[in-house]
Amino acid sequence: MRLSVDKIASVTRNLRLAKSLTVDGTIVAEHGSVLVGRVQNDKQTYNQIEDVHGRMSTLHSGDLIVGALGHRNALHGYEGVLPESVQVGETLNLLNLGGVIGRCVSFNRDVGAPFELEILGQVQVFPEFESRVGRPANIGQASITASPTVPATPVIYIAGTCMNAGKTAAACQLVRKLTQAGFRVGGAKLTGVSLYRDILSMEDYGAEWSLDFTDTGVTASSETSSTQTARSVFTELTSRGADVIVAETGDGIMGEYGVQAILADNELMQHSAAFILCANDPVGVSGGIRYLQEAFGITVDVVAGPATDNAVGTRFVEQNFGVRAINARSRADEFSAFVLERVRGKIARA
């Protein structure tokens, strides 16, 4: 059947779908399958969806939306799983702002219960010119691919103790400084659940290109997908001409999005030009520094995030751990200059 939808979520952005779509009642229950759902309820909090251009719009009961099947494991949001099967007419949930759809099994009360979606079917695409035979749409049909080996492009890794720890703010400041210094910068987000705004923010600050795991056909990263995703993103950014890559790992260094798998991958980490840890408090700094060193042999070059919002946290970090602590918001120039000084030679030698 043909449907005219109201909103198309950013998780499907690479398929470049129109709002008039062919939808089939047979649904393939796998990560990335593109579905149409009807919103069943109204919400006052966490009530928006991000479109394919990165614009947020409010959802209302009755809206027809396009999203993609996946999972989510967010400490400050929803926990949701990929259903084993999906039938037309059943109710699933919208798990994040980027349009990932699954079955919610728990949630943080700050964001409220999730939107309920009546599933109407799976979107069909027609890859062969003038063909009337459709294929079940999946975001992986427009994904980038990896090379067998990791490119030698230097990478500045930015990791955090948790979501909302200031990682994207730090990444954007670094992108700005590197761009001003004359480098061609590739921005990357390697893990998390699909949302366009973080890599768009890197472009706003000067990144010539930006990619994330969604560009590899992944709705939400995991231990089994994250290292391959990183390879794909690094390969593509290098092929486009990036001199240096600023790579944010979404969520925390302890979690279920596959950050640990990246940190444990020697081939991915051997091209690290600097490592930034963002933390919300001194306890997080303490645990993060020790965990990274003991579990992965990673030395933190600088600490940022809310733990460095004033002199109290900054002083604690520097006096107790001997690591520079510089807030990426209030001391943006100092933070960026410190990192640039550490990586400049490594970029020049690449």
CA distances to 79, 111, 276 from 74, rounded to whole Å, are: 6, 11, 22
Asked whether residue 77 carries a pLDDT value surpassing 90, the answer given is no
For residue 38, the surrounding DSSP H or E stretch is: strand 34-39
CA dihedral 37, 164, 253, 107 (to 10 degrees): -40
pLDDT tens-digit readout, 42-68: 999 999 999 999 999 999 999 999 999
* Per-residue pLDDT, 286: 95
Q: What is the mean pLDDT of the chain?
A: 94
User: Count of residues for the chain?
Assistant: 350
Q: Domain locations in the chain?
A: 2-140, 155-349
Residue whose token pair is 């799983």? 81
For the chain, percent of residues with pLDDT exceeding 70: 98
Write out pLDDT tens, residues 136-162: 999 999 999 877 778 889 999 999 998
Picking from 138, 142, 233, 145, the residue whose alpha carbon sits closest to that of residue 192 is 233
Please check the confidence at residue 206 and state whether its pLDDT lies above 90: yes
Count the helices and strands in the chain (H runs, E runs). Answer: 8, 20
The pLDDT, as a whole number, for residue 132 is: 73
For the beta carbon of residue 267, count every other beta carbon within 10 angstroms. 11
Residue 187, pLDDT > 90, answer: yes
Q: Using an 8 Å Cβ cutoff, are 269 and 241 in contact?
A: no
Confirm if 190 and 249 have CB atoms less than 8 A apart: yes
Q: How confident is the model over 188-203, as pLDDT tens digits?
A: 999 999 999 999 999 9
Mean pLDDT for 164-170 is 93
Q: What's the pLDDT score for residue 130? A: 61
Judged against a pLDDT cut of 70, whether residue 134 lies above it is answered with yes
Structure tokens at 15: 């398929």
Distance CA 157, CA 264 (A): 13
CA distances from 301 to 58, 157, 292, 326 (A): 40, 10, 12, 11
The highest-level CATH class for domain 155-349 is: alpha beta
pLDDT over threshold 60, residue 349? no
209-256 per-position pLDDT tens digit: 999 999 999 999 999 999 999 999 999 999 999 999 999 998 899 989
Q: From CA 340, how far away is CA 156, in angstroms rounded?
A: 10
Structure tokens at 146: 């990896």
| pLDDT at residue 10, as a whole number | 98
Q: Which residues have CB under 8 Å from 128's CB, separation 6+?
A: none
Averaged pLDDT for residues 2-31 = 97
Summarize the confidence of residues 22-37 as an average pLDDT: 97
CA distance 154 to 148: 17
Q: Which tokens is 172 given?
A: 């954007």
Strand partners, 69: 101
pLDDT grade for 350, boundaries at 50, 70 and 90: low
Please spell the DSSP secondary structure of 214-262, one letter per residue: GGGT-SB--TTTHHHHHHHHHHHHHHHT-SEEEEEEPS-SSSSSSHHHH
